[in-house]
């Protein structure tokens, strides 16, 4: 079973992602977080295999959260989520430790 943590400041986005992902038999959404600080805490607590993480959020943004998650030394893989077509955000996310992006 692949465990997933959803992170987006828009709760409706998390709800839609949960609906899509839970349709797969081998994926379990283990939690949601709504900013980068909550994401780091949830990674420590839940140890998900994958963190789907929005890059642009108020408070602690996704880029900062990626760095903090990478510093934890946990095996969670971060996949950056963004609707913005800005290469610099994607490159910064990958350099910070994201495994990929959507």
Question: Higher pLDDT residue, 33 or 90?
Answer: 33
Could you say which DSSP state residue 74 is in?
Answer: -
* Total number of domains in the chain: 1
Q: Phi and psi (nearest 5°) for 62? A: -65, -35
For the domain that residue 70 is a member of, what is the CATH number? 3.40.50.2300
Q: Which residues span the domain enclosing 63?
A: 2-101
Q: What is the token pair recorded at 94?
A: 């990958």
User: What does the pLDDT look like over 15-68, one tens digit per residue?
Assistant: 999 999 999 999 999 999 999 999 999 999 999 999 999 998 889 999 999 999
Instruction: Note the pTM of the prediction, 2 decimals.
Output: 0.93
Q: Is the pLDDT of residue 5 over 90?
A: yes
- What confidence score (pLDDT) does residue 87 get? 75
- CA-wise closest residue to 38 among 21, 53, 26, 18: 53
Q: Is the pLDDT of residue 76 over 80?
A: yes
Could you say which DSSP state residue 76 is in?
Answer: P
């Amino acid at each position: 079973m692949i465990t997933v943590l959803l992170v987006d400041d828009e709760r409706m986005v998390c709800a839609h992602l949960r609906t899509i992902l839970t349709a797969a038999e081998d994926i379990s959404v283990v939690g949601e977080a709504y900013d980068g600080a909550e994401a780091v805490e949830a990674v420590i607590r839940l140890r998900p295999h994958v963190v789907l993480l929005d890059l642009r959020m108020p408070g602690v943004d996704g880029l900062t959260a990626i760095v903090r998650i990478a510093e934890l030394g946990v095996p969670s893989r971060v996949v950056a989520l963004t609707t913005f077509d800005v290469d610099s955000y994607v490159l910064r996310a990958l350099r910070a430790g994201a495994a990929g992006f959507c």
